[in-house]
């Protein structure tokens, strides 16, 4: 009888062991994860991100986009921060990641250095968690919603450019394509619409939307869903056949605020990418755009829910990760 009990217990433990490692995304995260390990971590990260953002506001959009690109490829494990080596092309060097912001990376690297400079914290806080905190702080610095972050992620053990293929949305995606890529990460259409409001800060390159200005379709060179005045402004900033790839503000109305002006812009035909404007032109998503254009509070609540869900994607624990010494180099 005793042997049976022990056997049953071992079998159960084995099964749990398997389920634990085969569902890393179900790892337990907690807002208090570092409470005893590194109690000042949030203050330290906020200090570094505030300092960097005062030096250049580019860091704000930069960090938020880096978090998104990290989580959609191999989960939120800081794999996007790894630098390539002669024997390995890392995620960072995939074409979809080449325009991630230097200042965004720098904010995370500085935050990691500041955390490790606290003797209580050295070597104890993952780069994946620092990135999540830094994005939260950047959003707050731009006047966006404030929220508690869940923590306890480990850093991933690999980063390859090839793993990025097909994992990130493109600026010409329609609603079905956007929906399916977000669904693959456990995120709903409302989550997609909420997270897209990150395009309320930061910049985009002309090459990412110039098809909407000059060669949209045979009958209509300019995308008819673009506001005519806005299209003219964009043509001015992004002339045809220019020899440099310029940038424009993603939100031309309130570029310094992380707010629901994004949705008002969509209502006015001023979404920069097709993937933005389609959220209004497609009647399936328009009601949500309209309601968040009207209610800043409803938008903020939805955004906090969605970015919290984003932070749970593919989280690594146990043997599947570690805490990197240098966020850009595998240990
Ligand atoms: C819905 C699908 C999305 C598409 C197709 C998309 C596409 C893009 C593109 C093409 C750019 C401009 C890149 C450049 O030209 O340098 C950009 C910028 C940006 N994206 Fe997205 N994005 C999407 C969703 C998101 C999400 C979910 C977030 C964050 C939660 C995000 C945050 C940002 C930020 C902050 C910038 C500005 C970056 C900077 O100023 O350095 N995007 N996005």
What is the per-residue pLDDT for 84?
98
Clarify whether residues 141 and 116 are in a common domain.
yes
Q: Is residue 12 part of a domain?
A: no
Q: Closest Cα partner for 157 from 20, 311, 316, 18?
A: 316
Q: Is residue 6 part of a domain?
A: no
Closest residue by Cα to atom 25, ligand 1, is 196
Clarify whether residues 233 and 280 are in a common domain.
yes
Clarify whether residues 84 and 113 are in a common domain.
yes
CATH number of domain containing 290: 1.10.420.10
What is the per-residue pLDDT for 28?
85
Clarify whether residues 182 and 76 are in a common domain.
no
258 Cα: distance to centroid of ligand 1 (angstroms): 13
What is the per-residue pLDDT for 9?
41
Q: Is residue 9 part of a domain?
A: no
Q: Is residue 28 part of a domain?
A: no
Q: 69 an active-site residue?
A: yes
Q: Which structural domain range is residue 188 located in? A: 175-310
Share of the chain above pLDDT 90, in %: 91
DSSP state of 45: H
Element at 205 (helix H, strand E): strand 203-205
Q: What b/e readout covers 26-51, taking b as 16+ CB neighbours within 10 angstroms?
A: ebebeeebbeeebeebbebbbebbbe
Clarify whether residues 163 and 242 are in a common domain.
no
| Ordered DSSP codes for 247-260 | EEESSSSSTT--ST
Clarify whether residues 179 and 306 are in a common domain.
yes
Q: Is residue 243 part of a domain?
A: yes
Clarify whether residues 288 and 207 are in a common domain.
yes
Q: Please state, in angstroms and rounded to a whole number, the distance separating the CA atoms of residues 310 and 252.
A: 26
Structure confidence by residue, pLDDT tens digits, 14-66: 443 443 443 444 568 999 999 999 999 999 999 999 999 999 999 999 999 99
Q: Is residue 240 part of a domain?
A: yes
What is the per-residue pLDDT for 3?
45
Whole-angstrom CA distances from 56 to 5, 18, 52, 103 are 63, 46, 6, 8
What is the per-residue pLDDT for 27?
63
Which tokens hold the place of 164?
A: 């990025």
Clarify whether residues 196 and 296 are in a common domain.
yes
Clarify whether residues 146 and 260 are in a common domain.
no
User: pTM score, two decimals?
Assistant: 0.93
What is the per-residue pLDDT for 251?
98
What is the per-residue pLDDT for 22?
39
**Helix, strand, coil % in the chain, rounded to nearest 5:** 55, 5, 40
CATH number of domain containing 99: 1.10.520.10
Clarify whether residues 120 and 192 are in a common domain.
no
Q: Is residue 275 part of a domain?
A: yes
**SS3 state at 151:** strand
Clarify whether residues 145 and 254 are in a common domain.
no
Whole-angstrom CA distances from 141 to 33, 54, 113, 259 are 24, 10, 20, 12
Structural domains counted in the chain? 2
Four-CA torsion 215, 217, 223, 229, nearest 10 degrees:
60
199 Cα: distance to centroid of ligand 1 (angstroms): 6
**Cβ atoms of residues 206 and 248 within 8 Å:** yes
Clarify whether residues 124 and 179 are in a common domain.
no
* Mean predicted lDDT score pLDDT of the chain: 93
Ligand 1 site, CB within 6 A: 61-62, 64-65, 68, 99, 101, 169-171, 173, 178, 192, 195-196, 198-199, 201-205, 208, 250, 273, 275
Element at 189 (helix H, strand E): helix 189-196
Which tokens hold the place of 31?
A: 């807002």
212 Cα: distance to centroid of ligand 1 (angstroms): 17
Q: Closest Cα partner for 91 from 191, 197, 168, 25?
A: 168
Q: Is residue 23 part of a domain?
A: no
What is the per-residue pLDDT for 15?
41
**Cβ atoms of residues 135 and 308 within 8 Å:** no
Q: Which residues in the chain land under pLDDT 50?
A: 1-25
């Amino acid at each position: 009888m005793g042997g049976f009990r022990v056997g049953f217990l071992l079998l159960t433990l084995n099964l749990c062991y398997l389920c634990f490692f085969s569902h890393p995304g179900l790892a337990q995260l907690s807002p208090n994860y570092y409470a005893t390990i590194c109690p000042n971590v949030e203050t330290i990260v906020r200090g570094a991100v505030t300092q960097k953002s005062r030096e250049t506001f580019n860091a704000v959009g930069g960090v938020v986009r880096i978090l998104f690109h990290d989580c959609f490829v191999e989960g939120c494990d800081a794999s996007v921060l790894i630098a390539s080596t002669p024997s390995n092309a890392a995620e960072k060097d995939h074409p979809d990641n080449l325009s991630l912001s230097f200042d965004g990376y720098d904010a995370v690297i500085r935050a990691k250095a500041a955390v490790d400079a606290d003797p209580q914290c050295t070597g104890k806080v993952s780069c994946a968690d620092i990135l999540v905190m830094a994005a939260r702080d950047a959003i707050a610095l731009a006047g966006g919603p404030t929220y508690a972050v869940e923590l306890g992620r480990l850093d991933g053990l690999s980063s390859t450019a090839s793993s990025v293929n097909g994992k990130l949305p493109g600026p010409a995606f329609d609603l079905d394509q956007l929906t399916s890529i977000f669904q693959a990460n456990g995120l709903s259409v409302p989550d997609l619409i909420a997270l897209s409001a990150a395009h309320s800060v930061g910049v985009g390159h002309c090459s990412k939307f110039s098809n909407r200005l000059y060669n949209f379709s045979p009958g209509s060179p300019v995308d008819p869903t673009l506001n005519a005045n806005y299209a003219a402004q964009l043509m001015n900033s992004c002339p045809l056949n220019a020899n440099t790839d310029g940038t424009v503000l993603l939100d031309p109305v309130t570029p310094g605020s992380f707010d629901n002006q994004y949705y008002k812009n969509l209502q006015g035909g001023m979404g920069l990418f097709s993937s933005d404007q389609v959220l209004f032109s497609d009647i399936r998503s328009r009601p949500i755009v309209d309601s968040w254009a009207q209610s800043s509070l409803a938008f903020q609540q939805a955004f906090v829910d969605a970015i919290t869900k984003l932070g749970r994607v593919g989280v690594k624990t146990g043997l599947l990760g570690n805490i990197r010494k240098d966020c850009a180099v595998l240990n």
